[in-house]
């Protein structure tokens, strides 16, 4: 089996992705790219897995962001009441949530590289 350079593979996968987005089926992609069935189906499998991972990572990041937004909303409500002690506790919690959010490893945008997550 011949090892194809990563750049060539990534370019082909981008073409497969583009053709899929245009609504082409695998058979028409094979004809358009002049490649084999196995290569196209492997690329589709790879792209599907990368898309799933991207959505998972995005959701993970949004989950933490939702907590941060909720804490900000509670903080505003309590500050309107003038509770200084509650503001301090919420400020500390908000800082902890921000550190958690910053620690998440959300990959943005989707890349077609051969790196493993």
pLDDT digits (tens, 9 = 90+) for 30-83: 999 999 999 999 999 999 998 888 877 776 766 666 667 777 776 666 666 656
**C-alpha to C-alpha distance for 44 and 40, rounded to whole angstroms:** 6
Residue 11 lies in a domain: yes
Which residue matches tokens 């051969």?
A: 114
| 108 in any annotated domain | no
| Nearest-angstrom CA–CA distance, 71 and 93 | 8
Query: Is 114 inside any structural domain?
Result: no
80 belongs to a structural domain = yes
What's the confidence (pLDDT) of residue 47? 92
pLDDT > 50? residue 107 = no
Burial class (CB in 10 A: 0-12, 13-18, 19+), 81: exposed
Total-model pTM:
0.53
| Number of structural domains the chain divides into | 1
pLDDT of residue 86: 63
Identify the domain containing residue 96 by its residue range: 6-103
77 within some domain: yes
Residue 111 lies in a domain: no
Between 57 and 85, residue with greater pLDDT: 57
In a domain, 35, yes or no: yes
Tell me, yes or no, whether 34 lies in a domain.
Answer: yes
Concatenating the DSSP letter of every residue in 32-57 gives HHT--HHHHHHHHHHHHHHHHHHHHH
């Amino acid at each position: 089996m011949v090892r194809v350079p990563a750049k060539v593979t990534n370019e082909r996968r981008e073409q497969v992705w583009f053709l899929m987005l245009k609504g082409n089926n695998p058979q028409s992609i094979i004809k358009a790219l002049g490649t084999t069935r196995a290569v196209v189906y492997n690329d589709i499998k790879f792209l599907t897995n990368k898309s799933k991972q991207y959505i998972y990572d995005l959701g993970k990041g949004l989950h933490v962001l939702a907590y941060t937004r909720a804490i900000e909303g509670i903080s505003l409500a309590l500050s309107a009441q003038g509770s200084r002690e509650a503001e301090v506790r919420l400020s500390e919690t908000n800082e902890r949530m921000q550190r958690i959010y910053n620690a998440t490893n959300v990959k943005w945008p989707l890349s077609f590289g051969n790196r493993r997550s």
